[in-house]
Amino acid sequence: MSKFRSVSNLFGLDLETTFTVMAGIPGYLRDYVKFKRSLRETGERSKVSRLYPALLDKRASAGKASGHYFHQDIHVARLVLKHNPRRHIDVASRVDGFVSHVAVFREIEVVDIRPLETSEKKIKFVQFDIMNPQGSQLIADSVSCLHAIEHFGLGRYGDTVRADGYKLGINSLASMVEVGGRLYISVPIGPQRVEFNAHRVFHANEIPKFLAGFFALESFAYVDDLGVLHEVSTFDAGQAERSFGCNFGCGIYEFRRIKN
């Protein structure tokens, strides 16, 4: 069933949602009749101007307080608040998650290959491709890139298709961080692979190895396959070798630049 759902979603068909909507129609009509009756009985002046069926919410939960984005956005926003950098630059992280969290308490500069329109005064936007920054002078003591590196070079967001796109992106990110500054990165972790053109999945050791010699790993946390956050006191090599048991988890890395 999961394979069938994946194929149908590929073509923009969400059959599970369709069935849920169809099942909700009888209850919607019953509630509408009840509401019209209640209008007459209570004497309320509000009239039904049009029908606007919302047929999914009755069976849904109040929200989802778990998963990659929920945990990484809060976790890294707390670290930025704790360290209170002079300047924080974010590259391609979720605007209605991490970026908005940080904008509550400080200014944040956002870089993305795609355009962004915002009237929020604490969010400053610059548009360019981090894989090809063309001599950008963006330098800061705090830089983040959450759940984005895995897309670099796959063409999904209009970026150049390059097998080594993630390496170009990480190099650019590293060059933006001052000595003593911090770099926050999150990526999917598990058996290393490419699921084209959605994303890559990295071995948990891959990002620290790539930055070794210039950055020290200050802290690490991960979200497991069930969506639960684990803050790790020690980046154990044995567990990292097995990607902490994840098939499609999320590794959240805090690095500090130790030399140029």
d(CA 19, CA 176): 49
pLDDT (0 to 100) of residue 169: 95
| pLDDT of 188 higher than 90 | yes
| pLDDT of 135 higher than 60 | no
Of 12-21, 52-61, 156-165, 190-199, which gets the smallest average pLDDT?
12-21
Give 136: exposed, middle or buried? Use CB within 10 Å, 0-12, 13-18, 19+.
Answer: middle
| pLDDT of 91 higher than 90 | yes
Percent above pLDDT 90 for the chain: 84
Contact 202, 189 (CB under 8 A): yes
What integer is the mean pLDDT of 253-260?
A: 96
pLDDT (0 to 100) of residue 5: 60
| Range list of H helices, the chain | 2-10, 15-42, 68-83, 100-103, 165-175, 206-211, 237-241
Residue with tokens 């002046």: 45
What integer is the mean pLDDT of 13-27?
A: 89
pLDDT (0 to 100) of residue 2: 56
